[in-house]
Amino acid sequence: MTPPPPPQKVDDSILVLDESLRPAACGLAARLRAAGRSVDIQLEGGKKIKAGIKAAERAGAARLLLVGGDEWARGAVAVRDLAAFEQAEVAVEALVAGAEGV
């Protein structure tokens, strides 16, 4: 019997909270990947945050980035550190430039 493959590990999992922000979330994922981060994106709009957290944990993500209307209008996303259970709003440009946020 062969052992199961090791779990997939990603740096960031992006959860789209507003369907209209799908293109923006995909753009953010592309920018983070270009900066060298491993990114998983959850495009199912309307998904509850709790379900998004569980999906991010299954993917082995260190952080969950919540792309929602209010934060996005301010040029930011909510960043949840899945190990520390902390969340903070971080400017998109700072996130892409390598700022860790939470």
Cα torsion for 94, 55, 83, 17, to the nearest 10°?
Answer: 40
pLDDT class for 45, splitting at 50, 70, 90?
low
Q: What is the pLDDT of residue 19?
A: 87
Paired sense of beta strands 76-81 and 63-67, if any: antiparallel
Q: What does pLDDT average to over the chain?
A: 88
Structural domains of the chain ordered from first start: 10-98 (3.40.50.800)
pTM attached to this predicted model: 0.85
Query: Which residues, other chains included, contact 82 with Cβ-Cβ below 8 Å and sequence gap of 6+?
Result: 53, 56, 57, 61, 62, 63, 64
pLDDT in tens, 73-95: 999 999 999 999 999 999 999 99
